């Protein structure tokens, strides 16, 4: 099992999209980079935990973006609403557990 935690939409130049859709997509692209480095794919995620600022406000947008990357059969998923994250303006933090086939 491999664990990746604390993945957000903060870009390498330390900028962050103000638009939730773009920020969520950036976060999943960062997940993809970590998975590829470990020679894994989204289909090997067995557990997904997401931490959201304004969970209910952005949930539909998040699910749309998540479903672009994570396909059926879906891993277990827990969504947690939080008041804030460490980087100002960050709306999402992702934690995944992936398993090699």
1: pLDDT strictly greater than 90: no
Nearest to 91 by CA among 3, 10, 5, 4: 10
Q: How far apart are CA 50 and CA 18, in angstroms?
A: 18
Number of domains in the chain: 1
Band of pLDDT at residue 44, cut at 50, 70 and 90: very high
User: What pLDDT shows up at residue 101?
Assistant: 77
Q: What is the pLDDT of residue 43?
A: 96
Q: Which domain holds residue 68?
A: 2-98
- Alpha carbon distance 83, 12 (integer Å): 24
Q: Largest Cα–Cα distance of the chain, in whole Å? A: 37
For 50-65, what is each residue's pLDDT tens digit? 999 999 999 999 999 9
CATH of the domain at 11: 3.30.1330.40
Residue 90 has pLDDT above 80, yes or no: yes
Average pLDDT in the chain: 96
């Amino acid at each position: 099992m491999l664990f990746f935690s604390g993945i957000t939409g903060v870009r390498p130049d330390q900028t962050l999209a103000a638009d939730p859709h773009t920020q969520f997509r950036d976060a999943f692209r960062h997940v993809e980079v970590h998975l590829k480095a470990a020679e894994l794919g989204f289909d090997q995620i067995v557990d997904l935990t997401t931490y959201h600022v304004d969970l209910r406000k952005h949930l539909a947008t998040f699910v749309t973006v998540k479903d672009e990357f994570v396909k059926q059969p879906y891993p277990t998923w827990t969504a947690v609403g939080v008041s804030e994250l460490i980087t100002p303006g960050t709306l999402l933090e992702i934690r995944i557990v992936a398993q090699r086939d």
